[in-house]
Structure 1
Amino acid sequence: MYTTSSILLKSLADNGITHIFVNWGSDHPALLEDLQRQRKEGDGKTEPQIITCPNEMVALSAAQGFTQATGRPAAVIVHVDVGTQALAGAVHNVDRGRAPVLIYAGASPFSRLGEMKGSRNEWILSVQDVPDQPSIVRQYMRYTAQIPSGKVAAQVVNRALQIATSHPKGPVYLWARRETTEEEIDAALFNSGPSPRKWPAIEPTALSTAAAGTIATASPSSQSTSNRHLAHWPIPVIATCASAVAVPFSHPFFLGTTFLNGRTHTSRLAEADVIIVLDSDVPWIEGIQPPNEHARVFVIDSGDPLKTISSVGQWHVDAALICNADAALALSAIIAIVESSNISVDMIQQRAAELIASHKEWVHSLDVLEDTWPNGVPGDVRATLPNFLGVLRRTIAQLVPSGGLDKTLVVNEGITNYPLVWDHMRTEAPGMHITSGGSSLGWGLAAAIGASLGGRENYELIVGIIGDGSYLFGVPSSAFWIARRYQTPFLTIVINNGGWKAPKLSMLGCHLTGHGSLASSGVELSVGFGPDVPDYSQIAVAASAGWVWGKRIGTGEHGRNLQTEIDTAMAEAVRVVLEEKRCAVLDCVLDSF
């Protein structure tokens, strides 16, 4: 017997969805029944594969990590209104990160006298019936819809995924009443649904010829600020609030990553006569460090240049042109015009030499930070984050068997340390360094799980570099249980600086010399986790029933040399992940803020 639930699951599989991250509830009897039918008929297997997640935010974050790692959509199934709410901040992340994830939630039955299969037969079904369940997440979704009948379920799924995978990509939300999911469907309909091939995503948009010409001829000394793509002629490239690899670290015109904290915008903003903004939601903060007031600014965005679809409230960039175009296609068009123009070869060579020198100077400054270790009595001094990251990067280069860093995915949830992680991990290959793209903490652990499930053929090693606050937000008890259940080995580096540093920095940004500036510690400000901080590595060990290998390092206890301690622990942690195929967690202790 087939039901609407059969159609739903088949439609997801037909659309190329291979993994569904689920948190079951009383609205899912028909789904559970059909999955068991699949197991009986398919040698114990289901299509798509079901990943049980004891926490909804973890489920959605894992789905986001999966689609970031693979470029393919994923699905999440949650339970009525309460499960939808429990998706929590991950809803923000999949929206801002433009992750094509289909979320499905059941809804309480509308019948109460047993008139239909699925009618109310439990007390909980009445209290979970709310007037407008999709409104919980609607402002973050590209599309929301009810599945009204199994006869059109495949069409609803096809349309939802067509929208989710079109620029600007993002999440969609479907829901259905319990009676609908139990509706019996003829085998003929089950076997002859509409083909997803007839529901393609919108093709990327090219830049108009006029816009390409205007940008290409604006100035031979153009500047570029980019999140996701690379300009190919000698102008400086700065990654702002990066969520993916915009440019190889070693590119001679790349001058680093900024998350715009304080006055950390590139100083070149003040010098630029032309600025090209590529797929950047926040290229600068005008009230803190604006660009040259005479600069001509060109904004190119792959689908949402005014941030209306992603529902950003107040947003503005003073611009000469704002273009809705795929950044890669746009750059190709601009470059073609530049290469056919009569720009002075001497000027290009001079500019290239200056940028190469600036890049080398920047890389040298990173080397100095990594190789300068604190002096003092062991146990009384702490290593710096650049110390830890330098050791980690070199360890990976030595121990990852094929490709080293080019086969290592960095999942970066360093928050106040975002730019340090980007710069010191020195990522070269596209797709090998990601953040959530949003601001809701707790994405990193689950994203590593999703990336492992979907990208095993692409990665030799996955490393999550995660702040201690983000680690706790990530529900490690749930995340590491899932990691063991589905055998998704990854290394977690916990940046243990003793609490939530971001709120303190925000306070200082508004009250630099106020009362809070005189607080003796983060604990006094109520943003610290001390004096007795959790042992983050052992949380993971306990959650996995001992499967995870964990260790706290960087304390220099018992007179151990800090550098030797960290070198040894990093090597062992990487070995555990690579050879034993287990998760490893290193709780890396820094000076508390």
Structure 2
Amino acid sequence: MLEELQRQRVQGGGGTSPLVVTCPNEMVALSAAQGYAQATGKPAAVIIHVDVGTQALAGAIHNVDRGRVPVLIYAGASPFTSRNEMKGARNEWIMWLQDIPDQSAIVRQYMRYTAQINTGRNIVQVVKRALQIATTEPQGPVYLWARREVMEEEIPPALFDSLTMKPAISVSPAALSHFDALAITNALLTSLHPLIITSHLGRNPDAVASLVTLSTLLAIPIFSTCPSTVNVPFSHPYLAGITYITPTTTDSFRDHLRGADVVLVLDSDVPWIPSRCAPKEDGSASVFIIDGGDPLKTSVAMGTWDAGLHRGVELICRADAETAIGQIVELVRENVRGPTAGIVTGGGNGRSFEALSAALSERIMIREKEAYKVHEQWVKRLDEAEAASSAVVQRPEGGISRLHVTVPHLMRTLRDVTSSISSRSLIVSEAISNYGLVWEHAHAEHPGSVLTSGGASLGYALGASVGAILGDRARDGNLNKYDLVTAIVGDGSFMFGVPSSAYWIARRYEAPFLTIILNNGGWKSPKLSMLGVHPQGHGSNALSGEQLSVGFGFQSDSSNISSSGTSSETNRISPNYAQIAVAATDGWAWGKKVSLSHLRSQPEAATPEQILQELRETLSEAARVVLEEKRCAVVDCVLEAL
């Protein structure tokens, strides 16, 4: 492949087809491909090295699978001849070590399709089939591999010239059956307290408008649970909330679930957690599930999805969300316009259409007022969390009050700094324990303006940010859709992202982005998991993250923190993450840490306003570096320690 690419450069004027982006790390490469595909809606390809390169894809394999992102992965393999029987035979000692019985088994359970390419004569058919499967719901990764002799095979010119380069055709989106569309529409029209839940509907930006239309027609509140993209504009008055179903953020969501008599689940893997909150189990709540690719969640091994989710599930439908909602909207409009034979039946309980229409109008008006009230209360709570008076945390520490920047005010500051380009900005979030706060305070309005991996493997955001920029550039030429791409990561996910490679690519391919590190000093999510099972256990009284073995801090004198965890936060220091980016780019990237100890004057006497002003000035300068100087900028924001 290297020889062929160089032949193209020499004989073709310097360019290559396909365009090659060199990446020093496989997981970063696949994360970049994921970001590319998410930004463009088109698959990207990743080329890796034999079995070891396949393993080095690491958790990014999980992310493209769970995120339903179409990516083609191609891996070489050790030659199968060793005595020069064919061109490309084994000629290096390592080729014996890198040969394994079933290379594709490394990743098969995450793939939509795996295949070995056995000859160059049918390579077009194999690649097209792989892309066809990757881009058909449920979309996802595919894996092809071939040994070196195959790659060296000579193809007759006549055969090569006869190959068609027409793109692979994916399967068209599916619709609801007429019966299912009628049943769901009837349930929504006769419901007193309907509720819509979605997680990933916004992966198709056109579906967002359809969802807003349905919600507006019938005044149905919407919850976005564990989202991977923007499903509903933040300003939509029927958006009741965004939740990751954590113990501290589920009150409103729990109330809506318990009060709902009809729940419509659209493209969601985890609409609720049965052990924490769920619709009523007395039979008074009907649940309808629509998913475009895998409504039964066949990749989840334990139990049956519908029964484990809720006993009131009435229908599970494989249908494209945009298409299905369009069907329901049309039926609703026909019903509102007047009685039509074959349209909604059985919902009037013998009443005339006029009576049914009057009752429906009254219910819609009541729901409308309640939805507006819920939305306004939610926004008010978010505004209060962003106010200067609550933008820091004060807690006793040896008799001294400590001040800390919080995620709500950081997000408010980011919104203010980027307000002039908000419609042309992208947030790539890997905030993990702060996922919910970032989503709520991002105030995302536009489909595709916030992305997550859709999976659970850390290390996605840095590479994905580069990939999104490269995809944006490939789609629009020199006119970029995104003026600013911001990666928001925890300190743990920052290190998982292999920053030395991610920022190297950013400089090499002139793809600058802003990184905000939510630095809470370690892995907070494992601590929260522990407290979820043992809220009053021994771990609840741990003095530090280091004592729990999840902290990243050092003693300020560079000695190791003891297992007793007796060090206070006063002398805790953390790695200088921003300087990793600076070093990886030979000084091209810009970085700064924001914390109480990094204030320019009198940190011991700092006020909340001073800390927030320091944050604002730092984020403003960081955004300027990215927008004007076209360099990466990293802001390491020290939060309250876990």
TM-score under structure 2 length normalisation = 0.85
Is the 8 Å Cα contact of residues 383 and 562 (structure 1) preserved in structure 2?
A: yes
Q: Which residue of 2 aligns with 1:526?
A: 549
Match for residue 406 of structure 2 among 380, 384, 387: 384
1:373 and 2:382 are equivalent in the alignment? no
Q: Is the aligned partner of 1:352 residue 2:393?
A: no
| 1:447 aligned residue (456, 464, 475) | 464
Q: Which of 449, 465, 481 lines up with 2:488 in the alignment?
A: 465
Kindly indicate whether residue 429 of structure 2 is the aligned counterpart of residue 407 of structure 1.
Answer: no
Identify which of 328, 332, 335 aligns with 1:334. 328
SS in 2 for 1:51: coil
Q: Tell me the distance in 1 between the aligned counterparts of 2:26 and 2:589.
A: 22
In structure 2, relative to structure 1, the CA distance for the partners of 1:88 and 1:144 (3 Å cut) is same
Alignment partner of 2:619 out of 564, 570, 574: 570
How far is the alpha carbon of 1:376 from its aligned partner?
A: 7.1
Amino acid at match of 2:171: I
Is 1:100 the counterpart of 2:70 in the alignment? Answer: yes
Is residue 521–residue 551 contact of structure 2 (8 Å, CA) maintained in 1?
yes
The residue identity in structure 1 corresponding to 2:372 is I
1:417 aligns with 2:434: yes
Give secondary structure in 2 for the equivalent of 1:479: helix
CA pair 200-536 structure 1, distance change in 2 beyond 3 A: same
Q: How many residues of Structure 1 are paired with residues of Structure 2 in the alignment? A: 556
Measure, in 2, the Cα distance between the counterparts of 1:41 and 1:409: 39
- Following the alignment from structure 1 to structure 2, what is the Cα–Cα distance between the partners of residues 487 and 313? 45
- 1:224 and 2:179 are equivalent in the alignment: no
Cα distance in 1, alignment partners of residues 304 and 84 from structure 2: 52
How far residue 379 of structure 1 moved from its aligned partner, in angstroms, is 9.9
Deviations 1:244-276 (A, max 9, x none): 110000000002211122364412111100000
How far residue 380 of structure 1 moved from its aligned partner, in angstroms, is: 3.8
C-alpha separation between the residues in 2 aligned to 1:570 and 1:383? Answer: 13
- Find out whether 1:88 has 2:58 as its counterpart: yes
Q: Which residue of the partner structure matches residue 134 of structure 1?
A: 104
Quote the residue 1:11 is aligned against. none
Tell me the CA shift for residue 194 of structure 1.
3.2
SS across alignment from 1:217? helix
Alpha-carbon separation, structure 1, partners of 2:224 and 2:323: 19
Q: Does 1:484 align with 2:524?
A: no
2:280 aligns with 292
| Aligned equivalents of 1:312, 1:535: Cα separation in 2 | 41
Deviations 1:312-362 (A, max 9, x none): 544513311000000111111112222233352232122112101111111
Q: Check if 1:305 corresponds to 2:301.
A: no
Note the alpha carbon deviations across 1:24-59, whole angstroms, 9 max, x for none: xxxxxxx11111111122211111211111110000
1:215 corresponding residue in structure 2: 184
TM-score (norm 1): 0.91
- Is residue 155–residue 194 contact of structure 1 (8 Å, CA) maintained in 2? no
User: Is this contact kept in 2: 1:406–1:429, CA < 8 A?
Assistant: yes
**Does the 8 A contact of 2:393 with 2:402 survive in 1?**
no
CA RMSD of aligned residues (A): 1.6
Contact 1:410 1:434 in 2 (8 A): yes
Match of 2:346 in 1: none
* Cα separation, partners in 2 of 1:407 and 1:314, compared to 1, 3 Å: farther
Cα deviation, residue 65, structure 1: 0.5
Give the Cα–Cα distance (whole angstroms) in 1 for the partners of residues 29 and 303 of structure 2: 30
Q: Residue 534 of structure 2 aligns with which residue?
A: 511
After superposing on structure 2, the runs of 4+ consecutive aligned residues of structure 1 that deviate more than 6 Å are: 375-379
Matched, 1:432 2:459: no
Deviates further, 551-560 or 347-356: 551-560
Q: Which runs of 5+ in 2 are unaligned?
A: 202-207, 336-356, 474-479, 555-572
Alpha carbons 1:270, 1:292 under 8 Å: kept: yes
Contact 1:497 1:592 in 2 (8 A): yes
Out of 42, 51, 61, the position equivalent to 1:72 is 42
1: CA distance, partners of 2:237 / 2:34: 32
Residue 561 of structure 2 corresponds to none
Residue identity matched to 1:271: G
Structure 1 residues 163 and 376: alpha-carbon distance in aligned structure 2, compared to 1, 3 A threshold: closer
5+ long unaligned stretches in structure 1:
1-30, 399-403
Are 2:229 and 1:241 aligned?
Answer: no
Name the residue aligned to 1:253. 238
Residue 522 of structure 1 deviates from its aligned partner by 1.0
Contact 1:94 1:171 in 2 (8 A): yes
What amino acid sits opposite 1:506 in the alignment? S
Shift of 1:105: 0.3
- Check conservation: 1:553, 1:586, Cα contact below 8 A: yes
